[in-house]
Structure 1
Amino acid sequence: MIRFFNEDVDYKLPQKQATRQWLKEQTTREGYRIGELNYIFCSDEYVLQVNRDYLQHDYYTDIITFDQREEDDKLEGDIYISVERVADNAQQLGITPELEMRRVLAHGLLHLCGYGDKSEAEAAAMRQHEENWINVFPA
């Protein structure tokens, strides 16, 4: 089950049902199934506080993913997304906020699938997977 929540922002995810289906299909292609997955849309300040409280990081980020799975092949977790950061990133990249949000939604789920982004090689592989996922989003 994939659920979408707003914490301290008023955000409406475009194409919510299509997005759920897309995320499920891509997860299946990666060899996983989805248990309980929560996307929490929030502000920069909210994500910053989560970063401080749980990760001891003192910086802004667009996404934080918490893996809460109990079974290896069943993805479960909470994914916090700063809608402000996503909008800023989209503007800097010259793309729509909707496209950048898809990338970030995929990014969080790819982390749960085991993909990292700490090294240059990992980041490049993550970007390629994000692009692959985005390219099959239903038009």
Structure 2
Amino acid sequence: MIHYFYENISPISDEEKRAKWIEDLILNEGKKIGSINYILCDDEYLLQINKEYLNHDYYTDIISFNYCKGKNISGDIFVSLQRILDNSSLLKTKQEDELNRVLAHGVLHLCGYNDKTEEEQRIMRNKEDYYIGKY
């Protein structure tokens, strides 16, 4: 199940459509759908999470906490809508595409993909692009 929670921001549109899209992504990756909580928030809220749990003192667009067991995909995914809007403007992308990229990115991490090396980043970006095209 996909759940959405909001901290200091307004809800996003098309929650059900996005949930179905994320579920399809998980199944397409050969995994099972567990419980995924998207906590959508502002920059300051996510900065506090970053400091408290990861000891990082910088802004980010997403932080994923992995609770997966085997093929069962579960986790908490914190997303800064403020950062997504800023990145969309900087990258000259549609806000909806940037939001979907970040939502997919978090779940792809839960599915086992990383983005530490250039090769991992390339694979992650290709996966994001592929799934954005399926939205």
Tell me if both proteins adopt one fold, taking TM over 0.5 as the criterion.
yes
Residue identity (%): 44
Deviation string 1:90-129 (CA, Å, 9 cap, x unpaired) is 0011112111000000000000000001111111110000
1:103 has 2:98 as partner: no
Any conservation in 2 of the 1:14–1:98 contact (CA below 8 Å)?
no
Any conservation in 2 of the 1:34–1:75 contact (CA below 8 Å)?
yes
Deviation string 1:26-47 (CA, Å, 9 cap, x unpaired) is 1101011111100000011111
Structure 2 CA distance for aligned equivalents of residues 125 and 93 of structure 1: 20
Structure 2 CA distance for aligned equivalents of residues 44 and 7 of structure 1: 10
Structure 2 CA distance for aligned equivalents of residues 89 and 8 of structure 1: 19
Structure 2 CA distance for aligned equivalents of residues 74 and 33 of structure 1: 5
Please list every run of 5 or more consecutive structure 1 residues that lacks an aligned counterpart in the other structure. none
- Residue 46 of structure 1 aligns with an amino acid whose one-letter code is Y
- Residue 105 of structure 1 aligns with an amino acid whose one-letter code is L
Structure 1 CA distance for aligned equivalents of residues 80 and 60 of structure 2: 7
Structure 2 CA distance for aligned equivalents of residues 121 and 79 of structure 1: 24
Structure 1 CA distance for aligned equivalents of residues 116 and 58 of structure 2: 16
What's the counterpart of residue 31 of structure 2?
32
Structure 2 CA distance for aligned equivalents of residues 14 and 6 of structure 1: 12
- Give the CA deviation at 1:68: 1.2
Please list every run of 5 or more consecutive structure 2 residues that lacks an aligned counterpart in the other structure. none
What's the counterpart of residue 15 of structure 2?
16
- Give the CA deviation at 1:13: 1.7
What's the counterpart of residue 3 of structure 2?
3
Deviation string 1:66-109 (CA, Å, 9 cap, x unpaired) is 0012x211011100000000000000111121110000000000
Structure 2 CA distance for aligned equivalents of residues 45 and 92 of structure 1: 20
Deviating above 2 A after TM superposition, structure 1's stretches of 4 or more consecutive aligned residues are none
In angstroms, what is the RMSD of aligned CA positions? 0.8
1:130 is paired with a residue whose SS is helix
1:58 is paired with a residue whose SS is coil
TM-score normalized with structure 1 length: 0.94
1:118 is paired with a residue whose SS is coil
- How many residues matched? 135
What's the counterpart of residue 79 of structure 1?
77
